[in-house]
């Protein structure tokens, strides 16, 4: 019974993280202002990628100072950037575009790899 309660509590906390982002992230919002908003809401870049494995757009993002880049799809121009809050909750932000100046938020969720 305790295990079930703990699992339910963890699930509700994770859903809360994504729901919370619903209040300040908008689809098709330019990435740079969206990132500033994410950081202003207490999320910190989650650096979990070995930079030597990056190529293409993800390498460009990493070199531009976006250390939270997790990966970018080579064929569809979508990247995942990951953040964590002080409670360890995760926020993955999906952006589309191949040039930093053109990138926009396409989606987000509460799952990190």
pLDDT tens digits for 74-109?
Answer: 888 899 999 999 999 999 999 999 899 999 999 999
Q: Give residue 68's region: left, alpha or beta (phi > 0; psi -120 to 50).
A: alpha
Q: What is the structure's pLDDT at 100?
A: 94
> How many domains does the chain contain in total?
1
Q: What is the structure's pLDDT at 17?
A: 53
Domain with 17, as residue range(s), is 2-109
Q: What is the structure's pLDDT at 18?
A: 57
Using a pLDDT cut of 90, give the percent of the chain over it: 68
pLDDT tens digits for 26-49?
Answer: 999 999 999 999 999 999 999 988
Residue among 69, 108, 107, 103 nearest 91 (CA): 108
Q: What is the mean pLDDT of residues 65-72?
A: 94
């Amino acid at each position: 019974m305790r295990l079930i309660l703990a699992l339910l509590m963890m699930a509700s906390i994770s859903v809360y993280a994504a729901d919370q982002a619903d209040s300040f992230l908008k689809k098709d919002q330019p990435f740079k202002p969206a990132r500033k908003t994410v950081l202003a809401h207490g999320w910190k870049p989650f650096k979990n990628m070995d930079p030597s494995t990056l190529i293409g757009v993800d390498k460009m993002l990493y070199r531009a100072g976006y250390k939270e880049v997790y990966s970018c799809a080579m064929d569809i121009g979508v990247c995942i950037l990951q953040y964590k809050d002080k409670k360890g909750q995760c926020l993955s932000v999906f952006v589309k575009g191949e040039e930093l100046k053109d990138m926009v938020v396409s989606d987000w969720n509460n799952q990190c790899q």
